[in-house]
Structure 1
Amino acid sequence: MACSQPEKRIAIAATDHDIITILPGEIKEKILTKLPIKEAVRTSILSTKWRYTWASIPEIFLKDDDLVSYLSTLDGAGASSRFTKIVDLLLFIHNGPIVKFNLSTKHHCPEAFDRWILKLSRNGITTLLFSLNLPYGTKYIISSNFFLCNALQHVDLSMCAIKLPHGFEGFKLLRDLKLDQCTITAADTEKLVTSSPQLATLMLMNLKFEHNLRIYAMGLECLVIGGEILDLQMNTPQLTTAYISLTNTMPSPARVGCHDLCRSFGGLLQIQRISLFGVCIQRLVDGPPVELPKAFHYLKLMHLNVDFANQKECAFFVFATTGCN
Structure 2
Amino acid sequence: MDVPVPGNKSIRSSEGGDRISYLPQSLIEHILTFLPLREAAKTSILSTSWRDKWVNLPSLIFDDRFWTPFPVVETSAQYYATYGAVPNTIDKLVLNVFRVLCYHRGPLSGFSLSISQLRSYPAHVDQIMFSLYGKPIESLCIAIDGYKLPSRLFSFRQLKKLQLFGCMFTSSKISFEEFSMLTCLDLSSVKFPDVAEVSLTIRCPLLSALTMKDCGSAFNRLDILIEAPSLGLLHCVGSFSSLWVKEAPLLKDVTINQTASFAGHPKSNGPSNFMKLCGGCPAIERLSVAIQLFEDWGTLELIRQPDPAVNLMMLRQLKLNEVCLSFYHDMWRVVLLIQLFPNLQELIITTTTGASQKADINLPNQKLDRTRHYIASRLRKVELNRLQGVLSEMRFIQWVLSVTPKLVKMGITLSANIEPSHQIKTLKELNGFQRASSTAQIIFK
TM-score range, shorter chain: 0.7 to 0.9
- 1:104 CA displacement: 2.3
Matched, 1:268 2:266: no
Residue of structure 2 in register with 1:146 after alignment = 153
CA contact (8 A) 2:264 2:295 kept: no
Q: How does 1:174-189 map to 2 (within 5 A)?
A: 174-184=182-192, 189=200
Q: How does 1:111-122 map to 2 (within 5 A)?
A: 111-122=123-134
Q: How does 1:302-313 map to 2 (within 5 A)?
A: 302-305=318-321, 306-313=323-330
Structure 1 pair 207/169, CA: closer, same or farther in 2 (3 Å)? closer
Deviates further, 142-151 or 219-228? 142-151
Residue of structure 2 in register with 1:100 after alignment = 110
Once residues 271 and 212 of structure 1 are traced to their aligned partners in structure 2, the CA distance between those partners, rounded to angstroms, is 22
- The one of 239, 245, 255 equivalent to 1:243 is 255
Once residues 44 and 87 of structure 1 are traced to their aligned partners in structure 2, the CA distance between those partners, rounded to angstroms, is 18
Residue of structure 2 in register with 1:231 after alignment = 242
Matched, 1:91 2:108: no
Residue of structure 2 in register with 1:8 after alignment = none
- SS of structure 1 residue aligned to 2:186: strand
Once residues 17 and 237 of structure 2 are traced to their aligned partners in structure 1, the CA distance between those partners, rounded to angstroms, is 55
CA contact (8 A) 1:100 1:127 kept: yes
- 1:256 CA displacement: 1.6
- The one of 275, 294, 299 equivalent to 2:315 is 299
Residue of structure 1 in register with 2:6 after alignment = none
CA contact (8 A) 1:160 1:181 kept: yes
- 1:79 CA displacement: 4.9
- The one of 314, 317, 320 equivalent to 2:334 is 317
Residue of structure 1 in register with 2:46 after alignment = 46
Report the residue type matching 2:239 in the other structure.
E
Equivalent pairs: percent with the same residue?
Answer: 26
Residue of structure 1 in register with 2:408 after alignment = none
Deviations 1:101-139 (A, max 9, x none): 22222121322222322333333111111223x3xxxx2
- 1:307 CA displacement: 1.5
Once residues 253 and 176 of structure 2 are traced to their aligned partners in structure 1, the CA distance between those partners, rounded to angstroms, is 29
- 1:167 CA displacement: 11
Residue of structure 2 in register with 1:9 after alignment = none
Matched, 1:159 2:166: yes
Structure 1 pair 218/295, CA: closer, same or farther in 2 (3 Å)? closer
Report the residue type matching 1:269 in the other structure.
P
Residue of structure 2 in register with 1:73 after alignment = 71
Aligned residues: 294
CA contact (8 A) 1:117 1:145 kept: no
Matched, 1:200 2:212: no
- 1:243 CA displacement: 0.7
Structure with larger RCO (C-alpha < 8 A, sep 6+): 1
- SS of structure 1 residue aligned to 2:114: strand
Deviates further, 156-165 or 34-43? 156-165
- 1:53 CA displacement: 1.2
Deviations 1:192-249 (A, max 9, x none): x11x21111111221225143222222211111111222222212221111111114x
Task: Tell me the TM-score normalised to structure 2 length.
Answer: 0.59
CA contact (8 A) 1:29 1:53 kept: yes
- 1:166 CA displacement: 11
Residue of structure 1 in register with 2:354 after alignment = none
- 1:29 CA displacement: 2.0
Matched, 1:215 2:213: no
More helix by share: 1
Q: Which of 1 and 2 has greater Rg?
A: 2
CA contact (8 A) 1:178 1:203 kept: yes
- 1:308 CA displacement: 1.2
- SS of structure 2 residue aligned to 1:267: coil
CA contact (8 A) 1:43 1:50 kept: yes
- 1:189 CA displacement: 2.2
Structure 1 pair 123/21, CA: closer, same or farther in 2 (3 Å)? farther
Once residues 313 and 175 of structure 1 are traced to their aligned partners in structure 2, the CA distance between those partners, rounded to angstroms, is 37
